[in-house]
Amino acid sequence: MLELLSFFIPINTPIFYSQNVAQNNEIIAEENNILRPLSGQLNKIPVFNSNSPELVLGEGILLSTFPKDNKNHPEAHLNFGFQGRFDIFAHHVAKPSTENDKRTLYLGIIIHNPSSETVTVNTFEAASYLSQPDAPFITLPSKAEGSNIYAGPGSRVMGDILQKKRQETFSSEIIIPAGESKMLLNLPIPVQTLTPPINGRSTYMRLYSSGKVYLASLAMYQDTEDNPPSLSQWQQLLENQSLSSPRDLPPTPPEASGKRIYGRVAGVSEGNLWKTDLTDSSSNQILTIPDSGEAFSYGLSTLIGGTLGTNQVQTAPMLVRYPDTAYSAHGNYGVQYSLTLPLFNPNKENKIVNIAISTPVKQDILGVNFLNPLPTQTFFRGLVQVKYNDDNNIPRLKYFHLVQKRGEKGENLVTLTMPPQSQKLVSVDFLYPPDATPPQILTVTTE
């Protein structure tokens, strides 16, 4: 299982790995379910991925891709420029470093144009939410239909991006003169009125830059939450401060065996979209439904130690990273899965077909196992979009918010009656939310 390092708000980043199953949880194996690797691959869009340290207890640099030149702490800068399409993901938690510390932690994301020409940056979708009060971790059913349902800031942010929303906080266009910098984000993570005093902020942005730019996410304390630091204060911190500490636990090398520390991500990951048509191995046109009473599943966000026997690691690689942070972007937080299923019924009679997302027991051996009774840990909470034509051939676009425990078999998202020799197209889209723990599966079942 994945043991979770949690604070007051349940930040479920995968940290530790072992094969122990919780006591009194019976393993229920799905005998008639065949695991398949997910076709396709991640694209090459770079993602500024700021998630370490997740719990920020000190001012400093969280992630900087600026050049090392003229910096007091060159080791804190990764020298990676962005141009064209790129994304930004930031997910951090604040609490007072001492009992009497009443200051507010601000999270700043600065963007710099190093060139001699003006650069234009366009923001397509963007959202940033606090755990308190924007998106508390409320109790929700396993499946709830609706597009404005969420539990936790990661769930809410990814739901907004899935629906292509841009908060008013974010400008659609930013003009950066030659050699200058601008703030993309300058927002507090307030804790003073909370009991216990702890809060988190999740942010995701999809952008395009007309020229090369550098980025940095930074942490700075202010006496109040209505007094954001100035651009010059952020620039001074960037030039003079080191990495924020204390640091998270360093990761286990990928080739090591035994107990695994995945670590948290701080660097530039490669890939923001896994888009594919799920088809038969012998055809790129159709996906033949399973025989009656049988099923097949595709792994989602599979990772080292949790490929479900497919030997497929979907984790986004790191283009640059700090040595004490994750070797790859475990969990693929913010990555959009865009999956199309061109279902085909080859039989001479009607067949009822179901599609579901589930959270099986994490393992490396081939198979799908669930738990009964379910443990208490929530391993997935996020919004899923499905598109299909119903049994009356009427186009449907539906959103479902899912909350799943470890080892939980998901409820059906789509149920279709397929006439003989018919085809039906189903699309499933979601952004992997940061308050989740991989892997999951997408399952097609014929009743």
Q: Tens of pLDDT along 130-176?
A: 999 999 999 999 999 999 999 999 999 999 999 999 999 999 999 99
Residue 13 is predicted with a pLDDT of 43
12 lies in a domain? no
Reading phi first (left if > 0) and then psi (alpha if -120 to 50, else beta), residue 267 is in left
329 lies in a domain? yes
Q: What is the pLDDT of residues 227-280, one digit of tens each?
A: 899 999 999 999 999 999 999 999 999 988 888 999 999 999 999 999 999 999
Query: Beta strand pairing status for 440-446 and 351-358?
Result: antiparallel
Task: Please report the sign of the dihedral spanned by the C-alpha atoms of residue 201, residue 202, residue 206, residue 207.
Answer: positive
261 lies in a domain? no
This model's pTM is above 0.75: yes
In this structure, the answer to whether residues 349 and 204 fall within a common structural domain is: no
At residue 11, φ and ψ (nearest 5 deg) are: -85, 110
Rounded Cα gap, residues 106 and 168, in angstroms: 19
Rg of the chain over Cα atoms, rounded to whole angstroms, equals 22
> For 86-93, what is the mean pLDDT?
98
In this structure, the answer to whether residues 436 and 387 fall within a common structural domain is: yes
CATH code of the domain covering residue 342: 2.60.120
263 lies in a domain? no
Residue 258 is predicted with a pLDDT of 84
Rounded Cα gap, residues 339 and 298, in angstroms: 10
How far is C-alpha 30 from the geometric centre of its chain's CA atoms? Answer: 27
In this structure, the answer to whether residues 36 and 87 fall within a common structural domain is: no
247 lies in a domain? no
> For 290-313, what is the mean pLDDT?
96
Rounded Cα gap, residues 185 and 193, in angstroms: 23
In this structure, the answer to whether residues 218 and 358 fall within a common structural domain is: no
Give the number of domains in the chain: 2
| Segments forming the whole domain that contains residue 176 | 53-240
> For 50-60, what is the mean pLDDT?
97
Strand residue runs (E) in 364-421: 369-372, 378-389, 395-405, 412-418
Split at pLDDT 50, 70, 90, the class of 293 is very high
398 lies in a domain? yes
In this structure, the answer to whether residues 323 and 210 fall within a common structural domain is: no
What is the average pLDDT value for the chain, to the nearest integer? 93
Split at pLDDT 50, 70, 90, the class of 356 is very high
Rounded Cα gap, residues 155 and 163, in angstroms: 12
